A and B are shown apart, each in its own frame.
Chain A
Amino acid sequence: MSIIKTSYSRRSFLKVTALAGGGMMLSFSWLAGCNPTPEEALTLPKEWFELNSYIKIGENGAVTLMSPNPEFGSNVKTSMPMILAEELDINWKKVIVEQADFFPERFERQFTGGSQGIRLAWKPLRTAGATARQMLINAASKTWNVPAGEITTEGGILFHKPSGKKAGYGEMASKAAGLPVPKEVSLKHINDFKIIGSSRKNVEGLNIVTGKPMFTLDYKQEGMLIAMIVHPPAFGLKVKSVDDATARSMPGIRDVFTIKTLEDDYERNGFDTTSFTELVVVVGNTTWEVMNAKKALKPTWEKISDSSIVVQGRDGKETVTIPAGLESTEGHKASMAEMAKKPGNVLRKDGDPEGAFQKAARVIERTYSAPFLAHNTMEPVNCFAHVTAEKAEIYAPIQAPEFSMRTLTARLGLPKEKIHIRLARMGGGFGQRAYGHHLVEAAVISQKLNAPVKLVYTREDDMTYGIYRPMYTATYKAALDEKNNLIAYQVKAGGIPEGPLGHSQNRFPAGAVDNYLAEEWKQNSNITIGAFRAPRSNFLGGAEQSFLDEVAELAGKDPIAFRLELLERARKNPVGTDNDYDPERYAGVLKLVREKSNWSQTDNNVHRGVAAYFCHNTYVAQVIDLSMKENKPVVEKVYAAVDCGIVVNPDAAANMGEGAIVDGIGNAMFGEMTFVDGVPEKNNFDKYRIIRQMEAPKSIEVHFVQNEHDPTGLGEPLFPPIFAAMANALHKAKGVRLYNQPFSPQIDKKVLG
C-alpha cells in the first residue's frame, strides 16, 4: 500500500457539468462473452452520483466508469476502466463503461498514441479510483459513526466488521458525492490486485460482433449531408479550376465548391499536417450519389511554388520548407544516395570512432532502406461536423483531439468552450488519426453549408492523401578487433523529409561500445509525413537489428550471446551517461525469448531469426521460426518476450502484441508507397499489398516478464524488431541478406527464387 497525494490529478475532481453527449452508447463489461445470471444482471439506477470525473455510482450500486482516451483498437476502453475498478474495489460485472468526450477540464491527457496511454494514466486512474473509494468509506464512517480506518471494502460493499454493519456502494453514493475530496489516499499493493493482471474481455465485444454503429462513418442525424472531396492527384499540384456543370446536375447533389481549409500563414502545431489546403468539395444526400458526382468533376491543376510554413513542433518553432516539383521514387533513391555521402549532423559521439575504424582488424559496412508507407486504416478518413454561428459539434475518429481544438478555434472563429468534440471509436489509427485535418475540413464545410455534414474519403482519397511514414536509409559500420570484439560502431541515417534517428541516438548499442558515432541528415519534400506505429523506430529497429545479426555472424558469435555480451558491457561499465535503456531489463527479454523458443534446439527445416529492441519505454525480443514451402517463406511460429512492467489486461495485451508482430511482418514483406511525378502509384488494396490470412504466422506466443514496474507502452514496441527477425530468418533460409524493404518482391523475383 502506498499513500499518494490526490493533487496529482486534482482537475479530475473538479465538479464541472458535463456537456450534453447525445447518442452515447453504453458498454456493459459483463456482456462480452457470457450471459449474466439474474443476480449479475445490471439495471440502470434512478439517479447517478458523481464522485469524480471518472466515476458515477447509482443508488442501486451500478457503477459507470468513464474511459478518457480515444479507442483505436489498443483496448484502452477496457483496460483504463479496469484500473479505476481495481482501486475503487468493485465487481467488474457491475460496471458500465462510457467513452468520455474531449473535456480537458475533467480528464488528463486524452491522447492515444506513442504507447503512452496506460503508462501516463496509471497514477491518475488509480488515484481517481482510490479517492472515490475513500469518499465512500468516509460516508459510511459518518453514517455508522465509526472510525473510517475500521471500514473495509470488497467488491463494491463496505464493511464495518467490529459492529457487523455493511452497505453497498450505492447506499452511500449520495452522501459520498457531497463530501470533500480527501487530500491523500492509499493505493493498493500490487499483490492485492484482483482485476489488474487478470484478463477481461473487450467491453465492446458484443457491439462489435453484432455490427452496432460505433464508428463516425456509421453516424447519421436528421438533415445530415454527405460531403466528399477531390484533392490534387499529385504532391506538388494545387487546384486551378473545376468544371462542375455535369456534377451539379446529377441526382442528389446539393452543392459543389472549392474551399480553403487552412490559411497559408497559420502557425501550425505538429499535428496540423495537411497535404492539400484547398479542396474541391461535392455535397449531396447519399454517399453513392456523391461518389458518382465526384467522378463527373473536371478539375484542372497547376504546379505549386516553393513555400514555407511555420510549425510549432516537439523541438520548438520550426520553419519547414515545402519545395515545388513533382517527385518520383527513382529520384528519391538517387538523392538519398547523394545525401548519404555528405557529412551528417552529429547527434552523439563517444571515444574516437575514426581512429578505431583505422586500426580495426575488420570493418563491416551495410546500408539499409525502407520506403514511404501508407497507414491504410480499415475505416477511411471521415468526420461529422455541425457548425452554426453559436457552436460546433464534432464527432470524430481522432487520436489527438487537444491538437485539433486550437486549430478549430482559430479556423472557425469560435471559443473552445463552444466546440464540442465527441470521440468515436476509430477503425484503426496507427498514428494517422493523430492528424486532425479531417476535423478542420468537415467543420469548414459544415460552416459554409450551415448544415450537419459527414465528410467521407473514398479509399483512394485516403491512400493518396499523404501523411505517410517517411522514406529512410541508414548506413551502419562496425569495427571488430582481432578477437572479434566490437570496438567501434557508427550509424549515419537520413530520410525524406525526416531522418529516423531523431531522439534515438542514446539507444543500444550506444553505451556498449567505446567508440560510437551517430549522424543524421534529411531532405525536404512536398510529400507529407506523419507518425506511423513506432515512428522512426519502425525503420531503425529493423535496420540495426539486421546489422547486429550480420556482425555477430561475421564475428562467429551466436546472435543472442553477442547482444548479451554488449549489454553486459553496458551494465558493468557503460560508455557515456545518458544511455536511455536499462541493460538488465534489455538482457532479460533476450534471455526469456531464448528460453521460451528453445533457441539452442535446431531443426534443418526451421530457419530462425532473432531480434530485440527497446522503444516506448518497453523491452522486446522476438524469434521467428520460418520454413520454406514451394519456395515461399512460411512463418510457422513467433515467440515474443516483452517487459512492459505490470500488464493490466494480459490477454488483450497479447492480442495487441500478436497484431504488431503480424503488421510488422506484413510491412517488412509488402509495405510500400511509390511515386511517379508526384502521383502516389497505389490507391487501393488491389495495388497496395497488406498482409493477409494466408501470409500470417501459424502461431504466436507472447510472454510477459513478471515484475512490479509501473506499466509502459505496448501498442508499438513489438512492431520494430520483427522486421529484423524476419530478415534474419530469411537469411538463414536462403543465405541471402535483405537490406531493402519490402522483402517480398526480391524473394519473388531473384534472391530466393
Chain B
Amino acid sequence: MAVFILNINGKKQQVDVDPATPMLWVLRDHLNLVGTKYGCGIAACGACTIHLGNIAMRSCMLPVSQVGNQPVTTIEGLSEKGDHPVQKAWLEHDVAQCGYCQAGQIMNAAALLKANPHPGDAEIEAAMNGNLCRCATYVRIRAAIKTAAAG
C-alpha cells in the first residue's frame, strides 16, 4: 500500500492503495466516481476512458502509480452542469440506449475534439473505433460528434 495524492476533476484527492491498482478501481471503489465504467479490464472496449491531461486514456490498465500529478478528468468533471458541447450534442441526438458505454464514448470524443476541432468522417471513425457500444448506437455517436464540432 502507498499513499498517492491525485489531481482529479480539479480537486486534490488522497488514496492509500496498492500502487498497481488501476485508476478505474481507484476512481470507482475509493473515490466513488462511478461514471467511469468497467467493461473489459484489458483496454479493449473504452468504457473506462478518462483524460490524463488532454489525452484520452483507458483507466483500466493505468496503474495509479503512473499518474503522478497530471490532471485527471472523469465524466463527472467534464463540465459542471452536463453542458460540455459533446454532452449537449449527445442529448440533442438522444444517442444513448442502455447508456453504459456512453461516458467512455463522450470522454473519447471530447479528447478528439480538443486535439482536432473539426475532424472528418474518417478521423472520427478512427478515433472512436476503440469504444465499443453493444447497443450499437454508432451512427448517432458519429452524428453527435459532428454537431459538437460544428458548435
In the assembled complex, A33 has its CB within 8 A of some CB on chain B = yes
In the assembled complex, B111 has its CB within 8 A of some CB on chain A = no
Q: How large is the interface on A (under 10, 10 to 19, 20 to 34, 35 or more residues)?
A: 35 or more
CB distance from B8 to the nearest CB of A (A): 13
Interface 1/0 per residue, A207-237 and B, CB below 8 Å: 0111111110110100000100000000000
Query: Is B39 touching A459 in the complex (CB atoms < 8 A)?
Result: yes
Give CA–CA (A205, B94) in the complex, Å.
7
Query: Is B28 touching A287 in the complex (CB atoms < 8 A)?
Result: yes
Q: For B1, list chain A residues within 8 Å (CB).
A: 251
Interface centre among A72, A288, A651 (most CB of B within 10 A): A288
Chain A residue nearest to B99 in the complex (CB): A208
Q: For A289, list chain B residues within 8 Å (CB).
A: 18
Within 8 A of B (CB), among A31-48: 32-33
CB distance from B139 to the nearest CB of A (A): 5
CB < 8 Å neighbour of A209 from B29, B30, B90:
B90
In the assembled complex, A168 has its CB within 8 A of some CB on chain B = no
Give CA–CA (A699, B140) in the complex, Å.
9
Give CA–CA (A699, B101) in the complex, Å.
21
Interface 1/0 per residue, A135-152 and B, CB below 8 Å: 000000000000000000
Query: Is B99 touching A655 in the complex (CB atoms < 8 A)?
Result: no
Give CA–CA (A252, B100) in the complex, Å.
28
In the assembled complex, B57 has its CB within 8 A of some CB on chain A = no
Query: Is A458 touching B41 in the complex (CB atoms < 8 A)?
Result: yes
Interface 1/0 per residue, B21-57 and A, CB below 8 Å: 1100100111011111111111011010000000000
Q: For A72, list chain B residues within 8 Å (CB).
A: 98
In the assembled complex, A379 has its CB within 8 A of some CB on chain B = yes
Within 8 A of A (CB), among B110-129: 121, 124-126, 128-129
Interface 1/0 per residue, A400-420 and B, CB below 8 Å: 000000000000000000000
Q: For A684, list chain B residues within 8 Å (CB).
A: 40-42, 44
Give CA–CA (A288, B1) in the complex, Å.
13
Interface locus among A159-167, A183-191, A656-664: A656-664
Query: Is A378 touching B30 in the complex (CB atoms < 8 A)?
Result: no
Q: For A201, list chain B residues within 8 Å (CB).
A: 91, 94
Chain A residue nearest to B121 in the complex (CB): A698
Q: How large is the interface on B (under 10, 10 to 19, 20 to 34, 35 or more residues)?
A: 35 or more
Contacts A287-B28, A651-B94 given; indicate if A690 touches B134 (C-beta within 8 A). yes
Chain B residue nearest to A217 in the complex (CB): B38
Q: For B17, list chain A residues within 8 Å (CB).
A: 288
Query: Is A662 touching B136 in the complex (CB atoms < 8 A)?
Result: yes
CB < 8 Å neighbour of A427 from B40, B74, B100, B129:
B100
Chain B residue nearest to A651 in the complex (CB): B94
Query: Is A699 touching B139 in the complex (CB atoms < 8 A)?
Result: yes
Q: For A699, list chain B residues within 8 Å (CB).
A: 139
Query: Is A209 touching B91 in the complex (CB atoms < 8 A)?
Result: yes
Interface 1/0 per residue, A406-439 and B, CB below 8 Å: 0000000000000000000111111000000000
Give CA–CA (A696, B79) in the complex, Å.
29
Contacts A205-B96, A288-B21, A378-B100 given; indicate if A662 touches B76 (C-beta within 8 A). no
Query: Is A459 touching B40 in the complex (CB atoms < 8 A)?
Result: yes
In the assembled complex, B151 has its CB within 8 A of some CB on chain A = no
CB < 8 Å neighbour of A655 from B28, B79, B140:
B140
In the assembled complex, B65 has its CB within 8 A of some CB on chain A = no
Give CA–CA (A288, B23) in the complex, Å.
10
In the assembled complex, A377 has its CB within 8 A of some CB on chain B = yes
In the assembled complex, A174 has its CB within 8 A of some CB on chain B = no
Q: For B14, list chain A residues within 8 Å (CB).
A: none
Query: Is B139 touching A378 in the complex (CB atoms < 8 A)?
Result: no
Chain A residue nearest to B39 in the complex (CB): A378
Give CA–CA (A291, B40) in the complex, Å.
13
Query: Is B29 touching A204 in the complex (CB atoms < 8 A)?
Result: no
Interface 1/0 per residue, A235-274 and B, CB below 8 Å: 0000000000000000100000000000000000000000
Please list 16 pairs of residues, one from A and one from B, whose beta carbons are closer than 8 Å in the complex, sorted by A's number.
A32-B94, A73-B98, A73-B99, A208-B96, A209-B102, A211-B36, A211-B76, A287-B38, A291-B41, A378-B133, A428-B98, A428-B134, A652-B94, A685-B132, A693-B129, A694-B129
15 further contact pairs, Cβ within 8 A, besides A204-B99, A430-B134, A659-B97: A33-B91, A73-B135, A202-B94, A205-B91, A211-B34, A211-B75, A211-B76, A226-B29, A287-B25, A287-B28, A656-B97, A685-B39, A685-B40, A693-B124, A693-B142
Chain A to chain B: the 8 pairs with minimum beta-carbon distance, closest first: A211-B35, A427-B100, A73-B98, A211-B75, A662-B136, A73-B97, A696-B138, A208-B99
